[in-house]
Amino acid sequence: MNAIRALLTESIDYAGLFPPADLDMATAVENYARYRREPAAWALGRFVVPVTRLREFEAAAARSFPENPKGQPWRLALLAGPDLAGDLETAAEFNRRHSQPGTPALLADTIEVKASSVGDIEEIMHRIPGALQAYVEIPIDRDPRDLVAVVRRLGGRAKVRTGGVTRDAFPTTNHLIRFLRRCVEAGLPFKATAGLHHPLRAEYRLTYAPDSPAGMMFGFLNLFLATAFLRAGMEEADAARLLEEGSPEAFQIDDTGIAWTSHRLDLDALRDARHFGVVSFGSCSFTEPIGDLEALHLLGSGARQA
């Protein structure tokens, strides 16, 4: 297996409904159905949808579902709103409907919520049933040690926002690397969202508008590898430099592992980082991340240089 596949299998949660893509439901669902049939389907994760739009999703999915492989459910990442109790009941009803014979194999198995205090996290986590894996989006502009600890203690996972459609939506490198370190220290898996359309850190357009401003974005490879190397014992200062690495020539990637400068991870370490570190990232585009990986010649077998 190519090391990129070990690092990125089922890593891209498709969030086509959200900015900057802002697609309508029918188009987003059609895209997801098509991506599942393409050669890069190995990288596709869950379909991200607000709980309040589940009925709309069902109607759109019913039109695409003949293409769904038998026995392979479409997995959903639900976004909860302010009415958590109502959202949880809606999610439970959705899963009950789709557990019946003859219904499309759709499964809502994760739910994403926001919380900014230990008390809020405790209240939320005590209400979420075990059938749903909770991801708690927490702020990282201050040390998240206590928030990470309570999410871990209560069986949740963390979520971090890594960008947006304005420059001020992006966290600083110091804040992001501190979050990664706290998760690694606690053994807490997490997902990331926003601003991660591209593999490597660089300046990119913030939206798809013709007059869109540009801004410095983190790369998803930077994020995944910084997490993996932190788990392997890398010093925080080195991981911060890796998070900001923008040169493709700085990476060596082949069928046995990935190297950056004098540091190297084998396939087992990469898989470990996915199970116990960074789980996935939400992206409103699936074609951009895959297209960039192809442009860097990272999706074939054999020795490759990023």
**Those residues with Cβ within 8 angstroms of residue 90's Cβ, 6 or more apart along the chain or in another chain:** 51, 52, 54
Using only C-alpha atoms, the chain has a radius of gyration, in whole angstroms, of 19
User: Using alpha carbons only, what angle is made at residue 232 by residues 231 and 237, rounded to the nearest 5 degrees?
Assistant: 80
DSSP E strand stretches across the chain? 12-14, 44-50, 74-79, 106-114, 133-137, 157-161, 190-193, 202-205, 214-217, 251-253, 257-260, 263-266, 278-283, 304-305
pLDDT tens-digit readout, 129-148 = 999 999 999 999 999 999 99
Question: Residue 1 has what pLDDT?
Answer: 52
Whether 236 contacts 256, CB under 8 Å? no
Question: Residue 299 has what pLDDT?
Answer: 79
Whether 239 contacts 177, CB under 8 Å? yes
Chain-centroid distance, C-alpha 294: 19
Is the model's pTM score more than 0.75? yes
Segments of the chain with pLDDT less than 50: 69, 301-306
Question: Residue 134 has what pLDDT?
Answer: 98
Whether 243 contacts 201, CB under 8 Å? yes
User: Using alpha carbons only, what angle is made at residue 163 by residues 6 and 293, rounded to the nearest 5 degrees?
Assistant: 35
Question: Residue 302 has what pLDDT?
Answer: 39
